[in-house]
Amino acid sequence: MNSVALLELLSAIKEGKITPEQGMHRLTHWPGEDIEFANIDHQRALRTGLPEVIYAAGKTDAQVVEIFSRMARQGGNVLATRATPTAAEAVCARVPGAVYNPLARTIALRQQQTPSAIGPLAILCAGTSDLPVAEEAVVTAELLGHSVVKIVDVGVAGLHRLLAQREKLATARAIIVCAGMEGALPTVVAGLVRAPVIAVPTSVGYGASFGGIAALLGMLNSCAPNVAVVNIDNGFGAACFAHAILSNPTS
């Protein structure tokens, strides 16, 4: 039951068409029933400021195509993450305007102009192997309307490369830092700036990196207090979190 239906119901009570008792019965399951009737995706977008996204891993190509094209028909921006090349080819064949980024493994469709958000968002990665995760963050952030400054290959074993980027870092309103192996980059960056640093551990590494656990623990134990962490390889989530920071969430 949406707003219109609710107003009709209350008016019908006023007009005596239904009794208060009948009205009460029909309102028993209101919040739920209303939602079933409404379009789930649109409501989520309104409520949280983020579009529905297709997590393509573990879905068949056909499923990805079906969901993507159905979402596309509703006119908003659409994003699929962790997409295989074959799924991407199939989606792009069906949905004009869909763009595949093989590095980020994303399929993006931009149908709406997003309002420009506040200040630039910086996205860093420690090494070239961390690029796919950073790129997933870049694609997501740009689809959400943010201007992104990308800084690549600034690992902590060669500090001069990072220090050379201090000016760019100082002007960012939020910073996403992707790093694998020992995962120290977010801490070092956070010590240089006032902005919130969103740390993304990556699964880059071998042996005792344990698929990103070493980086994850390093980031959680950061001695800099302006660091928070998302899941391993979760470039998409980092960008969404940055979006929640950069948009005015209460307006």
- In this structure, which amino acid lies at residue 139? V
| Complex with its own copies: residue 39 or 111, whichever CB lies closer | 39
Could you tell me the two tokens for 241?
Answer: 């979190």
Strand order through the sheet with 99-101: 53-55, 78-81, 106-109, 99-101
- For position 42 contacting its own copies by CB under 8 A, the verdict is no
Which residue from 55, 73, 97, 112 is in contact with its own copies, where contact means CB under 8 A?
A: 55
> Residue 99 — φ and ψ, nearest 5°?
-120, 125
| Nearest approach, Cβ of residue 123 and its own copies (Å) | 15
Could you tell me the two tokens for 245?
Answer: 């920071």
- For position 50 contacting its own copies by CB under 8 A, the verdict is yes
| Complex with its own copies: residue 107 or 222, whichever CB lies closer | 222
Mark residues 103-122: x for contact with its own copies by CB under 8 A, - for none: ----------------x---
| Complex with its own copies: residue 60 or 97, whichever CB lies closer | 60
- For position 91 contacting its own copies by CB under 8 A, the verdict is no
- For position 158 contacting its own copies by CB under 8 A, the verdict is yes
| Nearest approach, Cβ of residue 10 and its own copies (Å) | 3
Give dist(CA 177, CA 185) in Å, integer: 7
Mark residues 211-240: x for contact with its own copies by CB under 8 A, - for none: xxxxxxxxxxxxxxxxxxxxxxxx-xxx-x
Crossing angle between the packed helical segments 30-37 and 3-14, to the nearest 10 degrees: 130
Dihedral (CA of 243, 248, 250, 251) sign: negative
Give dist(CA 88, CA 74) in Å, integer: 20
- For position 137 contacting its own copies by CB under 8 A, the verdict is no
